[in-house]
Amino acid sequence: MKNNIIIGGGFYGLYIAEYLAKKGHAVHLFDEALDFMQRASFNNQARVHNGYHYPRSTLTALRSRISYPVFLKEFKDSVYLDFKKYYMVGQPLGKISAYQFEQFCKRIKAPCKAASPEIWDYVDRRYISGIYETEEVAFDAVKLKNTMLIRALNAGVILNNGTKVNRIEKLSCGKINVFSESIDGEAMVYTVDQVFNCTYSNINQINLNSSIEVIPLRHELTEMCLVKLPTEIEKLSFTVMCGPFFSIMPFPSTKFSTFSHVRYTPHFDWNDRKNEPIYSSNKVLEDNHPTNWRRMVNDGTRYMPILKGCKYQTSLWETKTILPASDRDDSRPILFKSNYVIKGYHCVMGGKIDNIYDVINMIKKYELDR
């Protein structure tokens, strides 16, 4: 049996914690926030990806096709099905044509049929060249959190909220010291066999504090608007592919939908690079940023005039972290650095929720669960 510390109580940290505990290991999980799954695992578009989104990365599309039914089965109580999902092909700025999108869906064997004529009434045909009814669902981040907390506790994971991990240190005996600090300032040191850094946008903050080389990562400050849709399209969801377009998805833990835009959801970006100072993703979120809502809806209305009836509620702000290569082809591979600089220290990040299955496969492959 190994003693493990998981840093980060997002979906990834909780899932890995439960997995290791069920294998018979001792697992403590720390999250700096007072509640779990409050960061990227909440502030996202809630799409359970079924491949459609990735015509520029067939590998990511195919991986999504494999994990989609697995996720739906495992989290059937946390997914929301009560809406119709349409993918549309935008023009003239689109990177693919309607024909190419159809061929792509065939290639990845994703269900895709021409939308019924009344859906065309919502769009300006000058800017949309194809509309397809597809199969994709949304997850409810609050239900997912509650499910994962129960599962982790049942497996014997010790959950510590309001506890920040500042740094780790390798000991000559092969174990690792983990230095934490509770919200009321109490400092603690834990000595364990294995540490998983699942802090997503903060992975390099811990590396830097521990004098461990930073991992090249790219971050964006993102804004997802929460809106009330006009009644006629309340139970519909639209994603315009593939370029500087927009997407509307139900956000099931509220009665609203997210409205995101490829051009206006990211406000600015930055990179963590080796041997350079890094910005704190937490600090970026502390500042006030003016909303891009007007820009998003003004552009969206050109494609779908009905969107002018959207009622803005609020915005979800988050740091989105991806591998630098993903910026080019929009792929979403996982980051999995086992025994990173220190034996027993593993840095893990998934670009989307369902990548968790790839992470578990890597844990098995490297026998980190032994």
Ligand X SMILES: Cc1cc2nc3c(=O)[nH]c(=O)nc-3n(C[C@H](O)[C@H](O)[C@H](O)COP(=O)(O)OP(=O)(O)OC[C@H]3O[C@@H](n4cnc5c(N)ncnc54)[C@H](O)[C@@H]3O)c2cc1C
Residues lying near ligand X in the complex (CB under 6 A) are found at 7-13, 30-33, 37-41, 43-47, 49, 164-165, 198-200, 202, 206, 222, 224, 318, 320, 349-354
Q: What's the min distance (Å) between Cβ of 180 and ligand X?
A: 7
Q: What's the min distance (Å) between Cβ of 126 and ligand X?
A: 28
Return the structure tokens found at 236: 């519909």
CB nearer ligand X, residue 43 or residue 91: 43
Taking the C-alpha atoms of residue 152 and residue 277, their distance in angstroms, rounded to an integer, is 36
CB nearer ligand X, residue 91 or residue 319: 319
Q: What's the min distance (Å) between Cβ of 16 and ligand X?
A: 9
| Residue 219: exposure state from Cβ atoms within 10 A (0-12, 13-18, ≥19) | buried
CB-hemisphere CA count at 13 Å for 206? 30
Pairing of strands 128-134, 84-90: antiparallel
**Percentages (nearest 5) of helix, strand, coil residues in the chain:** 30, 30, 35
Dihedral over alpha carbons 198, 336, 239, 303 (to 10 degrees) = 90
CB nearer ligand X, residue 175 or residue 352: 352
Taking the C-alpha atoms of residue 104 and residue 355, their distance in angstroms, rounded to an integer, is 21
Cα–Cα distances (Å) from 362 to 74, 151, 202, 316, 336, in that order, read 19, 21, 21, 31, 8
CB nearer ligand X, residue 45 or residue 91: 45
Q: What's the min distance (Å) between Cβ of 125 and ligand X?
A: 28
CB nearer ligand X, residue 38 or residue 301: 38
Taking the C-alpha atoms of residue 158 and residue 2, their distance in angstroms, rounded to an integer, is 14
Q: What's the min distance (Å) between Cβ of 194 and ligand X?
A: 16
Q: What's the min distance (Å) between Cβ of 52 and ligand X?
A: 12
CB nearer ligand X, residue 8 or residue 344: 8
Q: Which residue is nearest to ligand X (CB)?
A: 10
